[in-house]
Amino acid sequence: GQNIDQPTEMTATEGAIVQINCTYQTSGFNGLFWYQQHAGEAPTFLSYNVLDGLEEKGRFSSFLSRSKGYSYLLLKELQMKDSASYLCAVRRSGAGSYQLTFGKGTKLSVIP
Amino acid sequence: EPEVTQTPSHQVTQMGQEVILRCVPISNHLYFYWYRQILGQKVEFLVSFYNNEISEKSEIFDDQFSVERPDGSNFTLKIRSTKLEDSAMYFCASSESLAPSTDTQYFGPGTRLTVL
């Protein structure tokens, strides 16, 4: 089976940097995805890691360590509109396996 | 920018009734998915579909559920006899392929299903 853990809630100040951690346990691994989800809306793709290291995309960066089963999403220069839930999702390896398994999400509140 | 679309945005139905949720995936995408999210809970995989057949399905996707690609653009999820516990947001997603950098799943805006 798979288990994905991330903090339930975080609060950060506008203009600051915040790091959202995700740990996972899976029988096989074929990529980790971060999505942003505003309340009542669809998940929106942010980033993707399949190899170890840092992927940078504007104000958002994501890091992966496969040996540690660990990823983080880094948000810089926080804006009020970044208040949302951030979902960590893992794709398993194996023929015919396409599904994403999601964590419960981290609700980020950005305050002035 | 191409996007996944879903209709209706809201559906209210009586327990025991059949519902069909509709999705139009991104046009050059070949892999299609349905997920659901019960209010306050995590997003859960239901089914994936490729080349006109189911590729993978979860335990949630029992005999009450079916999927179809009736034409070249639509992808539907049918729930034959809805139960109260089927109330959730249903998301359709699509991906171009399974190869790295093109396997990202893009989600539609969702259909909120309420079963009374």
Is the Cβ–Cβ distance between A100 and A91 less than 8 Å?
yes
CA B81 vs. chain centroid, Å, equals 16
Q: Give the pLDDT confidence score for residue A79 in this predicted structure.
A: 97
Q: Give the pLDDT confidence score for residue A96 in this predicted structure.
A: 66
User: pLDDT tens digit string along B68-101?
Assistant: 998 888 999 999 999 999 999 999 999 987 766 6
Chain A residues whose CB is inside 8 A of the B60 CB are none
B56 touches chain A (CB under 8 A): yes
What is the distance in angstroms between the Cα of A103 and the nearest Cα belonging to chain B?
A: 6
Q: What are the angstrom distances between the C-alpha of B38 and each of A51, A77, B114? A: 32, 32, 11
Tokens of B91: 């998301």
Task: Give all strands (DSSP E) within chain B, no chain letters.
Answer: 5-7, 10-13, 19-24, 31-37, 44-50, 53-57, 65-68, 75-79, 88-95, 106-107, 111-115
> What is the average pLDDT value for chain B, to the nearest integer?
93
Chain A residues whose CB is inside 8 A of the B91 CB are 42-43
> Which residues of chain A are under the pLDDT cut of 50?
none
Region B39-68: what's the mean pLDDT? 94
Question: Within a 10 A sphere around the Cβ of A69, how many other Cβ atoms?
Answer: 18
Tokens of B89: 């947001």
Q: Give the pLDDT confidence score for residue B1 in this predicted structure.
A: 76
Q: Which helix (H) or strand (E) holds A48?
A: strand A44-49
